[in-house]
Amino acid sequence: MDVAAERLVQAVIGNETVTVYGDYDVDGATSAALLIRLLRELGLEARYYIPDRLLEGYGPSGEALLRIGRDGSSLIVTVDCGAMAHEALAMASDAGVDVIVVDHHKCSADLPRTLALVNPNRLDENDLAASHGHLAAVGVAFLLAVATLRVLRERGFFASREEPDLFSLLDLVALGTVADVAALHGLNRAMVAQGLKVMARRENIGMAALIDTSRLSRAPSCSDLGFALGPRVNAGGRVGESTLGVRLLTTEDVDEARAIAAQLSLLNEERRGIESVVQEAAESQIAGQHNRAVMVLSGAGWHPGVIGIVAGRIKEKTGKPTLVIALDADENGNGKGSGRSITGVDLGAAIIAAKDRGLLIAGGGHAMAAGLTIAPGQLSALADWLDERLGAEVLSAMTGKSLTIDLSIAPRGLTPELVDSMESAGPFGMGWPAPKVAVGPVRLVKADIVGADHVRLIARGDDGGSFKAIAFRAATSDMGQALLHGAKDRKLWLVGRAKIDDWASRPQAELHLEDAAWAD
């Protein structure tokens, strides 16, 4: 961190040409935007480079780094990538290009050659540094911004100019942290809580346009970042133009911001259609792998831009870590895979170990998510090895799985006031789950399907209270089928997260369903 901050200060004072090399997802886009906006306020207009997911793949390539150097950049800062880019960074080092890596993904014991590798998940970190291992890359980038201003302050740089307000950048930190499903405890929790307040002020023109195109009529909540704003930024890297997210979050032009936000919304709709096709094909393979500890699903023609989302969906459906691999994803016929894990199973470490054993061409990630490149002939060997490596962890995690209920209420007790009271304990997310509320006993007045496969309910209790509930993507599940066809004239308890439905003229409380049980 100290080396990186000193080098950034040198670039600022010397008015050097700096390029920020970001990943194509939300964490990468927000990390890049944060450093670009910081450097702009320090008088340095940084360039950016975002690789194309399909043509270039994940992480910095040596060719791209050398090209950026030849184009005049004396310093490159990679964000949300680079921790495992040994070959690419060696090429840059040999060519005399200074590269700072700002990342949070798992590292191997053998670190790449680079000017500075700022990553709390280095294996050689001390306990204090490692305690920040839950940060998303944008959180690490924010700490680098803090360190950089500290050095500039010590040098007297702000004697004749105003110091940038780092708190104004926390809206970017909040979006990247939540969208990357980082644990909301410790520093993450503080940064997201403050970032939501900054976001409500709508000071970032691009962020404001993103909120407007998401049709939010109020200040965004934590769940809005994960389900409305984040997917739109991600859509550019998944199925569109990879630079759209950074351009949106760094622009100072209102019209440009609105145009980019609208384009991202259209791409997000396109992404949903592509995702639906891949998910259906992947789910058709689940039955054949019911004995596997880790689902390894693959298919030709699957769009690499949606495989991570599909892996997450199937992980939720099966309760098992899942890898979804798009075959023939590059000119050599190799597969590109993305994985999502369950609590208690470190998938990123397993993927790095699989690469070290020669099962993968490339691979890396963190505990809950990972990416890989694999030769088609290695699929079976990888699946067998993952079963052997992670079987005990998966069994332990699944055996201990339970749904903890925080509050039990009668139907009339589900009110907007109760929801507001519980929300004051937020923001909620990974590592700080929202309260689970059991409501009942109730009878179902109505049960039908809305959208593609969401189950919508109207429930009424003996106390005269009634409320709406919805179970997302549950129509084909055992619970969904029971609610749609087997719940007539039977009493139930419904469990989920209480939310405010503010689409109606008068806000009402509703339940986002996670489970149900017979009450008789």
Contact 393, 344 (CB under 8 A): yes
Query: Nearest-CA neighbor of 376 among 339, 336, 318, 409?
Result: 336
Question: Domain coordinates of the chain in residue numbers?
Answer: 2-194, 291-399, 407-518
The matching CATH number, chosen from 3.90.700.10, 3.90.1640.30, 3.30.70.270, 3.30.420.10, for 2-194 is: 3.90.1640.30
- Mean pLDDT of the chain, nearest integer: 93
Distance, in Å, from the CA atom of 421 to the CA atom of 315, rounded to the nearest integer, reads 32
8 Å CB contact between 276 and 66: no
pLDDT tens digits, 277-327: 999 999 999 999 989 999 999 999 999 999 999 999 999 889 999 999 999
From edge to edge, which strands make up the β-sheet containing 98-102?
Answer: 47-49, 18-22, 75-79, 98-102, 116-118
pLDDT the model gives residue 231:
94
Give whole-number Cα distances, 250 to 67, 240, 247, 480, in Å. 23, 18, 5, 43
Buried b (16+ CB within 10 A) or exposed e, 387-424: bebbeebbeebeeeeeeeeeeebebebbebebbeebbe
Does the pTM of the predicted model rise above 0.95?
no
pLDDT for the residue 105: 92
Residues 334, 340 contacting (CB under 8 angstroms): no
Q: Of 39, 53, 124, give the one whose Cα is nearest residue 307.
A: 53
> What is the residue-wise DSSP string for 321-356?
-EEEEEET-STT--EEEEEE--TT--HHHHHHHHHH
- Taking the chain (520 residues) in runs of 10, the rounded mean pLDDT of each run is 98 98 95 98 97 84 96 97 94 96 93 96 92 96 98 96 96 96 93 97 97 92 93 90 96 98 96 93 92 95 93 92 92 92 93 95 90 93 96 89 89 95 89 92 94 92 95 89 88 94 81 92
Give the C-alpha separation, 428 to 432, whole Å.
Answer: 5
- CA atoms of 432 and 376, how far apart (whole Å): 39
Class of CATH domain 291-399: alpha beta
pLDDT at residue number 174: 98
The secondary structure of residue 432, as a DSSP letter, is: B
- For residue 222, which of 204, 247, 197 has the smallest C-alpha distance? 197
CA distances (Å), origin 505, targets 213, 501, 512: 21, 10, 20
Centroid of chain to Cα 192: 14
In our burial notation (b when 16+ CB lie closer than 10 A, e otherwise), range 66-84 reads: bebbeeebebbbbbbbbbb
Beta bridge partners of 48: 20
Q: Per the structure block, which two tokens stand in for 51?
A: 């690789």
Please give the distance of CA 166 from its chain centroid, rounded to a whole number: 23
Element housing 142 (H / E): helix 137-154
Cβ neighbours of 57 (radius 10 Å)? 18
Q: How many CA atoms lie within 13 A of 402 on its CB side?
A: 4
Buried-exposed string 220-254: b where 16+ CB fall within 10 A, e elsewhere: bbbbbbbebbbbbbbbbbbbbbbbbbbbbbbbeee
User: Which phi and psi angles does 303 have, rounded to 5°?
Assistant: -75, 120
* Cβ density class 172-199: b for 16+ within 10 Å, e for less: bbbbbbbbbbbbbeebbbebbeebbebb
pLDDT per position as a tens digit, 195-252 = 999 999 999 999 999 999 999 988 999 989 999 999 999 999 888 889 999 999 999 9
Q: Which CATH number fits domain 407-518: 2.40.50.140, 1.10.10.10, 2.130.10.10, 3.30.565.10?
A: 2.40.50.140
Q: Which residue has the tokens 């080092």?
A: 93
| Two tokens, residue 33 | 């935007």
